[in-house]
Amino acid sequence: MEFPFDVDALLPERITVLDQHLRPPARRPGTTTPARVDLQQQIMTIVDELGKASAKAQHLPAPITSASRMQSNRHVMYVLKDTSARPAGKGAIIGFLKVGYKKLFVLDDREAHNEVEPLCILDFYIHESVQRHGHGRELFQYMLQKERVEPHQLAIDRPSQKLLKFLNKHYNLETTVPQVNNFVIFEGFFAHQHPPARKLPPKRAEGDIKPYSSSDREWGLPQGW
C-alpha cells in the first residue's frame, strides 16, 4: 500500500510500533524533514487507510481501526513496511497487527467462569498483493517477542477461519476452549495466565453471562492478511 508521502523517511524501521499517542518514530541521523510537514498527520493517514483496507477485506460496514480509535484506547499497532525498492522511491506499507489488553469473562475447561485480562488480537491485515509471502508470520512473531507473550496466552475476538489455520500451522494451536461469547482461547490459556485467572461465583440459572468484556466489542478480524 503506497502513500503520497515518503513512508521510508517517516518509518525508518522494518516494523514500527505505534501507541495511542501516534508519535512519529525517531529519525535516523542525517535525515531531513521537509518544511511544514505534519509527521503525526501522516502517521494518522497511514492508520486510517490501513483500517479501511482491513474493513474492506472482511466486508465490514465501517473500519474497526482508525487514528481516532487508537487515540482513545490503549492499543498497540505494529506496522510492517516494505523495505524493497519501490519505483516512486517512497516506500510502502505491507500490513499491520493491532493488539490490546481487555478484561474478559471466559469459561475454562470445567465451565467455570474466570475474570482475566489477556492480550487480545484486535485487527490483523496484510495487503492482498503480498499475501502468502511470510509477512503475516513475521509480523505476528515480532509482536509475540515484543509483548513477551506466548500464542496460547492470547484471546482472539471472532477470528476468521484463515486466522485459525494460520495459528494452527505456525503455532500448533488447534484445540479451543468453548466459550459463550465471541472470543476464542486455546488449550493452555489458563495454565499460563499472569496474574492467575480469578474464578467468579457460579451464575444463577436465569442469569446471562455478561459482559463479554469491559468495553463493547463491535469488531472481528479481517479475512485478508
Task: Give the pLDDT band of residue 158 (cuts 50, 70, 90).
Answer: confident
Distance of alpha carbon 3 from the chain centroid? 22
Give the range with max mean pLDDT: 110-119, 145-154, 190-199.
145-154
Q: Does the model's pTM come out above 0.85?
A: no
Q: What is the mean pLDDT of the chain?
A: 83
What DSSP line would sit under 182-209, residue for residue? Answer: SEEEETTTGGG-SSPPEEPPPPPTT---
Task: Sort strands 155-157 and 119-126 into parallel, antiparallel or unpaired.
Answer: parallel
200 has binding-site annotation: no
* Segment 69-121, tens digit of pLDDT: 999 999 999 999 997 756 566 889 999 999 999 999 998 888 888 999 999 99
Q: Say yes or no to pLDDT of 14 above 80.
A: yes
Lowest mean pLDDT among 29-43, 70-84, 130-144: 29-43
7 has binding-site annotation: no
In the numeric block, the cell 475476538 is attached to 157
136 has binding-site annotation: yes
* Segment 45-78, tens digit of pLDDT: 999 999 999 999 988 899 999 999 999 999 999 9
210 has binding-site annotation: no
Residue 196 contacts by C-beta under 8 Å, 6 or more apart in sequence?
A: none
- CA-to-CA dists, residue 194 to 40, 73, 175, 219, angstroms: 35, 22, 21, 26
Task: Give the pLDDT band of residue 195 (cuts 50, 70, 90).
Answer: low
167 has binding-site annotation: yes
For residues 75 and 98, the answer to whether their CB atoms sit within 8 Å is: yes
127 has binding-site annotation: yes
133 has binding-site annotation: yes
Task: Give the pLDDT band of residue 143 (cuts 50, 70, 90).
Answer: very high
169 has binding-site annotation: yes
Task: Give the pLDDT band of residue 222 (cuts 50, 70, 90).
Answer: very low
Residue (of 78, 83, 82, 50) closest to 139 by Cα position: 78
Q: Percent of the chain at pLDDT above 90?
A: 55
Q: What is the mean pLDDT of residues 13-42?
A: 78
HSE of 14, CA atoms in CB hemisphere, 13 A:
7
124 has binding-site annotation: yes
146 has binding-site annotation: no
Q: Say yes or no to pLDDT of 216 above 90.
A: no
Task: Give the pLDDT band of residue 207 (cuts 50, 70, 90).
Answer: very low
199 has binding-site annotation: no
224 has binding-site annotation: no
161 has binding-site annotation: yes
113 has binding-site annotation: no
132 has binding-site annotation: yes
166 has binding-site annotation: yes
168 has binding-site annotation: yes
75 has binding-site annotation: no
173 has binding-site annotation: no
